[in-house]
Structure 1
Amino acid sequence: MRYNVLLKLTAFLFAGVLLNSCEESEWGNGGLELDTDVQIKSFTVDGVEGEINQDENSISVYLPKDTEVNALSPQVEIAEGATITPSAGETTDFSSSEQSPVVFRVENGNLFSEYNVTVQSINAKITSFTIGERQGVIDHEARTINLTVPFGTDLTQLEPDLEYTDGAVISPAAGESLDFSSTVIYTLTFMEETFEYSVTVEEGEEVIPDLVIYNGEDVVPSWWTVGSAGDIASKFENPQVDGINATSYCASIWRNPQDDPWTGGGLGGLDVDPSKYVRFSLMVLKEVAGDVQMEIQGEGAGNQYLKVNYTAENVGKWQQLEFTLPEGHGLTKITTILVAPQIDDTKNDPDFFGHRMYWDQLVALPAGE
């Protein structure tokens, strides 16, 4: 269990002086208490007891499937005399806690502790469904999977490869040969709850789904800083929740006035097929109009530098930008995508003191659309 002393070092040293100079002072009477209890003893939501890990200062609560978690009132037990923020019973939004846990802070005397709390409804998903080279299009809302196979394929004997929630049990089993001439139902069993996906396989041209690379919610790889920009965050509160981008979180980076033109943020470790994906959609919000540069790196060819203008009329608002690889780009695999929030537009502007840029919803789009 990790505890934190509220007093800074300077205050602690000052207390030492008081101890030596004023025997009857508050400090001399034991004002600095270092043995108070700042543990959360129990954490209950809708009658479900959370699992508390005192070593990691974390709490996990799993509610029955389809439970709404955006307005819940936890019941919390702490030591007598301690206080907790948010307060016990206070209505709290846990809808994004799986990616960004809600922090509960317990204070008692001179000590405090903080717990990262995740509350989610039990859920299990099929995350990938492929037959041969073809990939199924998964709709998690409707719990449907649609896949096309080459013309002439025997639909009565197909062996799909599946990926699904770790710890779940699936039936029929992954890799089992099945007759897909009619709809097949797959059932996932997880934490005593069941989830069904309807799978439809047809002969036809390949349907390539959009590929979400980053969305700030459930697909959140870590952006890393490129150049001298600072304060990059992969999960930053959306500063402008609206109809264009209604999600709760986004990525953010601070751009200094004299940063190099290519300064920004990057995502590495990607495996994107440029024969299928040549267009990239990105939500951008900036405080200054100007070009946004996307640099795409990979195998088979040199780096590709793509620029799209973030317009003055959209300053302070989300704008969806689309970047397209040029014909004959030569890439055989995309491994890295870099985004630079401002190129040369403000380089010599004496009134420009830097600005923060936000981006979200980086999606690779099929080449044929």
Structure 2
Amino acid sequence: MERPLLKHIRNHEALFLEIARLRDLAIEQLGLGNYEFSKTPKFISETGERFTIEPERSIILPDYHLFKGLKHALTERVPGLTIVEHSDCGYRYPTAALAGLDAPFIKRLRSEYFHRVDEDRSICRPVNLSYGIKSRGKADNRLEYEVWVPESQLEADPMPLLVEKYGEDLPHEVRHFAQQKPMIYGWMGVKRAAFEALYRNPAVMGDLVICIGLSVDAYNIGARPDLSFSPTVDSSIAASNAEFEWEVMGYYAPDDAHYTHDELWAAINHSLEAIGEPISELYADDIMPIMESKTERILSTVYGQGITTDEIRELNLRPQEFLQTSSERRVKPQDPNRKVNFLGRLNRLFYQPEHQLPAIESLHDLIAHSR
């Protein structure tokens, strides 16, 4: 199957522009040529505060193979859902938890993972780094604030970037939390097969068309914060599962239409439930009862190995260290003459033979399979 967007995997600007073009084309093919796209609106509280919300839901299954035929299931079971043709894209996400379970918010470092041109294929390096702060949990519409961070500024305070992006909409408690020094608590490696769809239900939402980003993630979670071998699980990887997410990316409406805040958010929440109910029913026998976000799953997995917060703080791992093939200050316990290769450990999170994550294209083939 042709997937033209995969060639843009290294170029965000080209990728997002092409996705927008394909979305617009899909809208025209639905006979809605006078419609315009808008991003997900801010959520305004009863006190007038403006919040950046992530309208997203997900289910977690033990293994990614269980999502075979997912696309056909969606179109069969969700009336009004149209898959955006050729919107298949993908990502390799190393994700680190940067604050503990006792923190008021989730703090994460996410990046993408690529080989350098002409470099040994066994080495990937994080690029397109971002800091994200989110509300805890995964079931509700969570606060989400995220900024891209230059590699040279990983140790710098991200506050100026957050203020530049969100301005006065940045909540005070998020501002304060962002200024705390990031420290690595643990890692997750994610392979993501993503695509987009349009959802219509005129009886409930009138002329609105909600744009949904959908993705299947296969992931591994490291057993220890430094991704070293854990005798408890006889591996450096402690958990391997899969997740299907659906998130509202924005909406289309007639160019002369105006919708209130409450109308838009009612349509957003209805769209999430329109997908959630039939999909949860389809996979009811396999859904894992996990109410943690990905970042919280990293933390609970690491703590589940008997590692304490004091031990994590004593390690004092910094994000910058995982960009290095040879640590500046850490050596292997069994051989003090050898420096720790954190980048190599990050690679094993994706490519360890016993837990190797699938290729993005094979994930797409799986979910596009006829049921």
Range into which the TM-score falls when normalised by the shorter chain? under 0.3
Q: Which has the larger radius of gyration?
A: 1
| TM-score after normalising by structure 2 | 0.22
| TM-score after normalising by structure 1 | 0.22
Greater relative contact order: 1 or 2 (C-alpha under 8 angstroms, separation 6 or more)? 2
